[in-house]
Amino acid sequence: MAEGRAVLVTGSTGGIGTATVGLLRQRGFTVYAGARGRADFGPEVRVLPLDVADPESVAAAAKRVAGEVDGLWAVINNAGVIVQGPLELVPADEWRRQLEVNTIGPASVIREFLPLLRAGGGRIVNVSAATGRVAMPLLSALSASKAGLEAVSNALRLELAPWKIPVVVIEPGTTETEIFTRAGAAADATLQQADPARLKLYRSHLAAYEQAMTRFKPGPVDKVAKTILRAVEARRPKRRYAIAEARTLGAILPSLPAPWRDRLLATATGLNNLKPQAAES
């Protein structure tokens, strides 16, 4: 099916990225595995140095690929991070990191790789999340970044229609990868720098949230990789492929009246019935 068609996967060193690279390779694609650090997928995969948050790195990556292939069949914008915590405690640098990796990064990748996509009759596959359609408390930065990616996808679909370049959104459910451990470590580092009085205000929020998160049972990465493969191989890909609980979270919650939605989300995240904490308590 793939006949050596070339595809790019960003964030290839992570859970979903690695599984996707493996599957695409098995199906015969020529895979460019974007990685900002060391990566080794064996001789059949082309590792491509790529930090999506660095425009020079993105431009250099596109230049190299253009020197090796005539066109691309798919760009899979998979690289992503989670910045978590109450907005009051998340500094601007962390917000910037969130938006640069999850929203501006994919936009830069698309901009630089579009000539190759046009030449290859290719498609864009953006890995979003249910937070792109339903903003979650204590995840305002992540929600903003994925809502931004959704907006980019919707606008681009129309902009690129004359060239028949499909723009697909993948919406994984909670998936077993290192993303949560990484996010937790970054949040711990941030909270250590936070004003202790302000941090105290959010103790109950943070405890309730941690408890609520244990209820989400992560699914396997293979399920997401297989869905990405479907989007890459489909003759006429759908606009969106939602997986597991993203189907209900992302599809049903946004259609509810706002007061119901707020109540459901507050309950699901354990933030209902919290009493205001005093900084001194």
User: Interface residues with ligand NAP (CB under 6 A)?
Assistant: 10-11, 13-17, 36-37, 50-53, 78-81, 101, 127, 129, 172, 174-175, 177-179, 182
Residue 115, strand partner residues: none
CB nearer ligand NAP, residue 179 or residue 271: 179
Report the distance separating Cα 89 and Cα 86, nearest Å. 5
Q: How far is the CB of 14 from ligand NAP (least distance, A)?
A: 2
User: Residue 109 contacts by C-beta under 8 Å, 6 or more apart in sequence?
Assistant: 8, 10, 50, 52, 58, 75, 77
CB nearer ligand NAP, residue 71 or residue 220: 220
Query: Between helices 15-26 and 221-233, what is the axis angle to 10°?
Result: 50
The pairing of strands 30-35 and 123-127 is: unpaired
Q: Count of CB atoms within 10 A of residue 66's CB?
A: 16
- Here the tokens at position 201 are 């205000």
Q: How far is the CB of 273 from ligand NAP (least distance, A)?
A: 27
Q: How far is the CB of 187 from ligand NAP (least distance, A)?
A: 14
Q: How far is the CB of 175 from ligand NAP (least distance, A)?
A: 4
CB nearer ligand NAP, residue 58 or residue 199: 58
CB nearer ligand NAP, residue 199 or residue 240: 240
Going by the DSSP 8-state scheme, the letter that residue 218 receives in this structure is P
In 3D space, the residue among 47, 52, 42, 15 whose CA is nearest the CA of residue 32 turns out to be 47
CB nearer ligand NAP, residue 175 or residue 269: 175
In 3D space, the residue among 56, 138, 63 whose CA is nearest the CA of residue 105 turns out to be 56
CB nearer ligand NAP, residue 15 or residue 122: 15
**The length of the chain, given as a count of residues:** 281
- Give the residue closest to ligand NAP by C-beta: 14
Q: How far is the CB of 199 from ligand NAP (least distance, A)?
A: 26
Q: How far is the CB of 177 from ligand NAP (least distance, A)?
A: 3
